[in-house]
Amino acid sequence: MQKLLDELFSVSFLKGILHIIVILILTWLALRLAKRFSAGLIRLIIRKKEDEEFQKRTTTLGNIVRYALISIIVAISGITVLREVGIDIGPILATAGIGGLAIGFGAQSLVKDVISGFFILMEDQIRVGDVVEIGGKSGSVEKISLKTTVLRDMSGNVHYVPNGQISVVTNMTKEYSRYVFEIGVAYKEDVDEVMEIIKKIDEEMRHDPEFKDDILEPIEVLGVDQFADSAVIIKARTTTLPIKQWRVAREFNRRIKKRFDELKIEIPFPHVTVYMGEGKDGQAPPLRIVKDNCQK
């Protein structure tokens, strides 16, 4: 009995207890630091404007970094404590390695989705409300998570795109938007006159209370872009607030159609030639056209 008590209160035993206490204290301090600085670390990496969407994104990424740090700290602390107690950690590490390898093989797509989602969030590639094209699908972003990005297209269809399948992100509403016009007029028209009309319509819209806040810059008339089969194509582009480009473009097209009609400027359209065919005698059958003169 006396020998057992001597061993319990030996210097080595007390030294081991002291080491464990120090390890636990350091673990507690490390966990506190991980929780405090994880969000700050993400802010330092991203360096974006402080807004509501940024706060949501930072919170999500901060939680991921914090949980990862906590897991690493707890794992290192647990291994160190087991070693101090005298437990052989070799078999435990081997078992954990085999289990992790099996889980990794079984969840490759999930891990790929999570990693891709993390970098999409961290790099601020897309935000909720953006109109994007990803994974062969386009629409408005309704939700972004680590695993999937949810889009809703104009028809109301909802698309769930795994983040691991996203190789290219086309964001049509990042900070500002643009709309490119390709306006076709007949070859007989004066293209300089047409370009002046385009600028004048844009100026009217920029002074219109309903549209002036949506348009950021005067329209850029890039000039005569191509000589098409039946029209001269004049290219121009306008810069608007995000997601407002289609609204502005529809109104611009309406006004330019009315103005062209007023000024008798021809907008060409494809013509169709009807060929009735020929018989063996080389004569074409008659084409009968019936004109309805009845008045309602």
The CA R_g of the chain, rounded to the nearest whole Å, is 35
The per-residue pLDDT for 259 is 94
Look at residue 178 in the predicted model and tell me its pLDDT: 93
pLDDT at residue 296, rounded to an integer: 46
Evaluate whether 165 touches 108 at the Cβ level (below 8 Å): no
Q: How does pLDDT run across 171-220, given as a tens digit for each residue?
A: 988 889 999 999 999 999 999 999 999 999 999 999 999 999 999 999 99
Q: CA angle 276-280-284, nearest 5°? A: 25
pTM value is 0.63
Contact 256/175 with Cβ under 8 angstroms?
no
What is the C-alpha to C-alpha distance for residues 75 and 82, in angstroms, rounded to an integer? Answer: 11
> Is the Cβ–Cβ distance between 216 and 240 less than 8 Å?
yes
**Domains of the chain and CATH, by start:** 2-106 (1.10.287.1260), 125-171 (2.30.30.60), 177-262 (3.30.70.100)
The parts of the chain modelled with pLDDT lower than 50 are: 5, 296
What's the pLDDT at 241?
92
Question: What is the C-alpha to C-alpha distance for residues 145 and 117, in angstroms, rounded to an integer?
Answer: 7
pLDDT of residue 293: 59
**Is residue 42 helix, strand or coil?**
helix
3-class secondary structure, 219: coil
pLDDT in tens, 218-253: 999 999 999 988 899 999 999 999 889 999 999 999
pLDDT score recorded for residue 260: 94
